[in-house]
Structure 1
């Protein structure tokens, strides 16, 4: 007899395990199925261990510039093996934390590969052989993997995905990064700070192309100043991989093809959803190019089958997956008779994005260009960190905050930042947007002094011609 649950979650990443916890909190008998490591890619091979690497690079970079702070740090060096070991230790600690949370919330964990066999039926193949599980509802949260280029298949030796780049066998001497989205630019920043010669190739006309154009321009200047080579409007035509390195033919924006030699290559050209071979076709779940189509609560077109995270339309971010997990769990509980939960559909316009390069980037809402395309009349304010006392005191005066408002209503349409600690500051604007704030509330908010966050206030003031410190 198949074990019966209220909910089975297929995948234990930041969407899956959070959905399972929320469901358990609501009294649902819940199971989770994971084929590799609890916590998924984010905790084990993504968001968290990369931030550990980047923190090491940040500290190393500060040590190299100790003299600017009146300090002396002589004969410093980077031990890449020790840096990686620390990163893996952080990932292990968090994996163990998720294991504890599953036990605490009485969630049954089935380790193995799950396949949907029929409505409410999931077959799991693992250490225990083949198990058949039954549930009133199933959430698909199988995440995504790095996308390969046809001519640049990752081999783990000379051609890497982000996963290989996190546990390098050696530090690259000359690194080519293909793609300047968040993953590509974070690894470019890490290895550059660690002393590698880095070239970034981006096919679009600017780096981090989803960000506001002013942020892209500022970042490119900063990266070039740090010693990187940035090639935009360019593409890699071919890679010739050998035991000693990689020859890359790169077509520039002028149409000329130049061949260059690199020790290693990181391919960071996006992700592909893990939706193959899990039984979606058997049940008739609607997907487009592997992306499962859902409503605002995570429902697919098949009753009882839900989807969250990187298998659904973007943005493909861990915090978006977690929030979707909570929404789906509450909607399922509601369908099962819980009258005390009132889930709200996901508002994708209020999902922040953070990139942990050096300098950091953070944003929420519409860019200035997208707001204009949408037909808004705008008021836009920008405030540079050079006008902020805390940024100067920290020795981090390079950066700015930009806010975009609807000129007619004062609605905050978007906020865009680049500089020190902006990934921590963006949440102020996210809360503001979620509360449907206008410039009036933000102008009348008291920001603490001295903090870099005062730049947020000044940016709002600047949009209305009232900036005080510039």
Structure 2
């Protein structure tokens, strides 16, 4: 039957489209259902276009300090419209690229909104979701509404910004990351509610472009999931750039006017404070897209809004799987992609290891960059581990000094008895490119001795990694 498949994937984001490609590679007849845009939030409104904005900000920052490198240039400036246009163009390119990959791998694209009528039966209706960006049209030559069957269904519907009652985004004065990526004009002042990766990245971008930025965080630490020492370093660096922080602080209400917004903030001390800005970005997390999928009808279990799965993506209903953000934290594109491969290969009968969340790296692309994997020092101690901790500052690394990026830190945490690498935490130039070295080491169950005997090329920023390992055992050479 033309409408019968081995696998139907619902959602064409990073997890969904990777699942479809891997299934096609394994010879499974595959279709993917999407209601809004191929490549998902990550490529259209998240991971990729935000990095385009941050790259513009990085270059703009270097232009303002050309003299530090012995260079001369005219007064730097920027065109916000052109910056946004470049970012949106890259999003379109990614979207088109995923459409090409579907065609290349002979994956059928079904355009519309999907729901499970029962396990193995997917009803697709005409999409009611309005495209956020008219530059990104739906793919051509697709299948449309109808009833489709499959031996297995993978749900990969992702997540959306969390909305707090009374502080609902209006697309004008109160923004989510959608509006923050396409500003019609540059705000002179900005309030950012939430200091996770999304909040800090936008705070960094807008500050680089000249806005006065205040970040309000409910918890005592910014970047709450990061090691406290790394988070403190980031805060100090961002404060040096002029970003203000209010931690242990709750936004009780937001007043809007023609002039901007005023956030009414309650501090843990009991004091009250008002923070004014042209705009407010709400970056207080995300919620899973589980509505309208027929999960209640089929009996799929949820926990705190996320679909409950095992390490291979199985739900409690045979033949129904879930991956990515909709299957719970950590809500990261690379985690979704890895889950996709695990789930599909399991469906195909392969024996594969389940997802180990302790080895999922996290990256924040602010200035300075932040990257980490595994346990923080506090978590390791809470787990009762006897640990050795190593630290190495970028100021002791020749490449960092030559780049004009001497501020940074690499921190490694080892089990004192076995030499097992429990966690690695980094802040500084290009650490998001370096963290994979520690991720590989953890996956290979590498010990401190093996890392010490590994030759790192000179001069590179990666040498800070080895020096941090050496420092954990009192053998650092360059500090």
The bucket for the TM-score relative to the shorter chain is over 0.9
Alignment of 1:196-215 (within 5 A): 196-215=211-230
Segments ≥4 residues shifted beyond 4 Å: none
Deviation of residue 252 (structure 1)? 2.5
Deviation of residue 72 (structure 1)? 1.4
Deviation of residue 2 (structure 1)? 7.0
Q: 2:435 aligns with which of 426, 431, 435?
A: 426
Cα distance in 2 for partners of 1:370, 1:122 equals: 42
Alignment of 1:373-384 (within 5 A): 373-384=382-393
Structure 2 partner of 1:338: none
Moved more, 76-85 or 252-261: 252-261
Cα distance in 2 for partners of 1:269, 1:247 equals: 17
Q: Secondary structure at the match of 1:15?
A: helix
Alignment of 1:115-130 (within 5 A): 115-126=115-126, 130=145
Structure 2 gaps, min length 5:
128-142
Q: 2:403 aligns with which of 391, 394, 397?
A: 394
Alignment of 1:351-366 (within 5 A): 351-366=360-375
Structure 2 partner of 1:337: none
Structure 1 partner of 2:67: 67
Deviation of residue 31 (structure 1)? 0.2
Confirm or deny that 1:316 pairs with 2:331.
Answer: yes
Q: 1:261 aligns with which of 276, 285, 294?
A: 276
Cα distance in 1 for partners of 2:331, 2:278 equals: 30
Cα distance in 1 for partners of 2:420, 2:58 equals: 36
Q: Secondary structure at the match of 1:221?
A: helix
Deviation of residue 242 (structure 1)? 1.6
Aligned residues: 464
Confirm or deny that 1:174 pairs with 2:167.
Answer: no
Q: Secondary structure at the match of 1:247?
A: strand
Alignment of 1:307-346 (within 5 A): 307-334=322-349, 341-346=350-355
Cα displacement string for residues 294-353 of structure 1 (whole angstroms, at most 9, x for unaligned residues): 01100000000000000112100000000000000001111xxxxxx3221011111000
Q: Secondary structure at the match of 1:96?
A: helix
Q: Secondary structure at the match of 2:372?
A: strand
Structure 2 partner of 1:230: 245
Structure 2 partner of 1:149: 164
Structure 1 partner of 2:419: 410
Q: TM-score, normalised by structure 2?
A: 0.96
Deviation of residue 130 (structure 1)? 3.1
Cα distance in 2 for partners of 1:402, 1:288 equals: 34
Cα distance in 1 for partners of 2:263, 2:198 equals: 20
Alignment of 1:3-18 (within 5 A): 3-18=3-18
Q: Note if contact 1:117-1:283 (Cα within 8 Å) is conserved in structure 2.
A: yes
Structure 1 partner of 2:45: 45
Cα distance in 2 for partners of 1:394, 1:236 equals: 40
Structure 2 partner of 1:439: 448
Structure 1 partner of 2:265: 250
Q: Note if contact 1:461-1:467 (Cα within 8 Å) is conserved in structure 2.
A: yes
Deviation of residue 289 (structure 1)? 2.3
Confirm or deny that 1:467 pairs with 2:476.
Answer: yes
Structure 1 partner of 2:295: 280
Q: Secondary structure at the match of 2:325?
A: helix
